[in-house]
Homo-oligomer: A and B are copies of this chain.
Amino acid sequence: MRPTVHDIAAEAGVSLATVDRVLNARPGVRQKTVAKVEAAVERLGYVRDVTAANLAKKRIYPLVFILPEGPNSFMRGLEAEIRAAMQRSPAERTSIRIETVPPFDAKAIVNILDSLDPAEVTGVALVATDTPDVTAAVGRLVENGVHVATLVSDLPGSQRIHYCGIDNLAAGRTAGGLIGRFRGGRAGKVLVVAGSMKLSDHMDRASGFAEVLAAEFPELEIVGPVETNDDADAVRQAVTAALEADAGITAIYSLGAGTRGLIEALAGQASRKLTVVAHEVTEHSRQALADGLFDAVINQDCGHEVRSAIRVLKARSDGLMPISAQERIRIDIFLRDNLP
């Protein structure tokens, strides 16, 4: 039987309340008494029952998630995962609110951030546009004691306590390794399609990709990146134009969203067998894999990201440092054969 507060109270010869004070580092206990209790804790190997503590405390964690609205399938998937977490709220003692903003709208993010009452919110997780005003707003919030984590795309140099997402430099490298190997040493050009260079994740992917091609696959030449603002129609037009302009393109790396547009462009070029790698498993990319239009899709598990964000925010609210290693999000690679 695990020792309880009663056991250690008896062992130390003090009352329950005193034990509690020592355990929670509350003031008003003589140093000598503290020592007695700590000795008893040590001797009995006491570990606090967190669930019982939470029950007694009736602690709940009010959290806010901020993410872009609009048709982006990945973001909608992310939202679905947040809603799933809301379902679990009673068990996890969280109280989650979702706020959506127009995509790429830094000002809207800032407005929401500034409207948050530090007394009513303990943690915020946001998909951030990497601009100075957002970074500043995050700083203000953190100064006011609200814990902030970035989701999917990081805010380097900000006060955020944690980034819940993949290493996008490594993701770009992975795409490079994949396309390089798929091309098997044959020379050619690779079209790189990006959403926006205002998104730090997109920037990092492009860099990682270029790095690997330069170092390991010099026979491949990069065309682009072309920016599409993650808009499917823009993607379709850009890809179609590039393919028609340059017959030397043998591969495409799409590192942003608007995957539907890419698929449409590809369908219009059916005679040309291209090696294609895109990001995020969605309804569209899943179909493209099955159809053999895409060779591989790089994915981040947004379920993991949301759960990680919640864990980290809760931990920080309790004054604990999250174990970074455990919270790392993996870079998934999917072929048609290992689709979940």
Contacts and interface: CB of A to CB of B under 8 A. Distances in A.
A254 to B, nearest CB: 17
B47 A51 contact: no
Contacts of A331: 338
A177 B336 CA distance: 8
Given A51-B51, A55-B51, A181 B337 contact: no
B337 A330 contact: no
A113 B41 CA distance: 38
Contact of A177 (B47, B328, B335, B340): B335
A332 interface: yes
A90 B49 CA distance: 7
A47 B174 CA distance: 45
A112 B186 CA distance: 56
Nearest to A325: B340
Contact of A182 (B50, B91, B184): B184
Nearest to A330: B340
Kindly state the interface size class of chain A when it binds its partner: 35 or more
Chain copies in the assembly? 2
A15 to B, nearest CB: 22
A79 interface: no
Contact of A90 (B47, B182, B183): B47
A120 to B, nearest CB: 16
Among A178, A186, A208, chain B packs the most CB atoms within 10 A around the CB of A178
Contacts of A333: 332-335, 338
Interface in A156-182: 170-171, 173-174, 176-178, 181-182
A166 to B, nearest CB: 9
A25 interface: no
Contacts of A52: 55
Contact of A173 (B55, B170, B337): B337
B90 A177 contact: no
A295 interface: yes
A51 B50 CA distance: 10
A2 interface: yes
Among A177, A333, A336, chain B packs the most CB atoms within 10 A around the CB of A333
Interface in A235-291: none
22 contacts: A47-B90, A49-B55, A49-B90, A50-B91, A51-B55, A55-B55, A170-B337, A173-B337, A174-B337, A174-B338, A176-B337, A177-B336, A178-B335, A181-B182, A181-B295, A212-B337, A328-B340, A330-B338, A330-B340, A331-B338, A333-B334, A333-B338
Given A50-B91, A52-B55, A181-B335, 19 more contacts: A2-B90, A47-B90, A51-B54, A51-B55, A51-B91, A173-B338, A174-B335, A174-B338, A177-B336, A177-B337, A181-B181, A181-B182, A181-B295, A184-B184, A212-B337, A330-B332, A330-B338, A330-B340, A332-B333
